């Protein structure tokens, strides 16, 4: 059971806008910044969004992140077939002397 809750699946058609939610609590999302990772099949995760809404160099501006209270969201606009992947949110949790926590992951299917 993950500390951060994500929907197990999401889907959209090419060109659509999709959002993936990540729900936590006061000791994690409520107190720390949120990061998002994209994992294509058979590859290592790739940093997509950091510090809630910043994009690393090379990540298209179709990807955006936001945070409000104890929840965060990843939005993908202009959906493309290559966006089909697993997406994970992550943050630090201040409980139990501090630990890193990931969401359970959301599998995005491009129909």
Partner 1 sequence: QVQLQESGPGLVKPSETLSLTCTVSGGSISSYYWSWIRQPPGKGLEWMGYIYYSGSTKYNPSLKSRVTISVDTSKNQFSLKLSSVTAADTAVYYCARDGGSGSPDWYFDLWGRGTLVTVSS
Contacts with partner 1 by CB under 8 A lie at 2, 32-33, 35, 37, 43-47, 50-51, 56, 88, 90-92, 96-105
As measured in angstroms, the least distance from the Cβ of 103 to partner 1 is 7
**Residue closer to partner 1 (CB basis): 27 or 35:** 35
**Residue closer to partner 1 (CB basis): 1 or 13:** 1
CA distance 90 to 43: 18
**Residue closer to partner 1 (CB basis): 55 or 62:** 55
HEC secondary structure over the chain: CCCEECCCEEEECCCCCEEEEEECCCCCCCCCCCEEEEECCCCCCEEEEECCCECCCCCCCCEEEEEECCEEEEEECCCCHHHCEEEEEEEEECCCCCEEEEECCEEEEEC
Integer-rounded Cα radius of gyration of the chain: 13
As measured in angstroms, the least distance from the Cβ of 29 to partner 1 is 12
As measured in angstroms, the least distance from the Cβ of 2 to partner 1 is 7
**Residue closer to partner 1 (CB basis): 15 or 44:** 44
As measured in angstroms, the least distance from the Cβ of 87 to partner 1 is 11
């Amino acid at each position: 059971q993950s500390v951060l809750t994500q929907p197990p699946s999401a889907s959209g058609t090419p060109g659509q806008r999709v959002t993936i939610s990540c729900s936590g609590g006061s000791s994690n999302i409520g107190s720390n910044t949120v990061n998002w990772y994209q994992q294509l099949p058979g590859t290592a995760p790739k940093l997509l969004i950091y510090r809630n809404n910043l994009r690393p160099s090379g990540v298209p501006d179709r990807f955006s992140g936001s945070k409000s209270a104890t929840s965060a969201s990843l939005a993908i606009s202009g959906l493309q077939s290559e966006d089909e992947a697993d997406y994970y949110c992550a943050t630090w949790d201040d409980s139990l002397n501090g630990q890193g926590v990931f969401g359970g992951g959301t599998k995005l299917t491009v129909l």
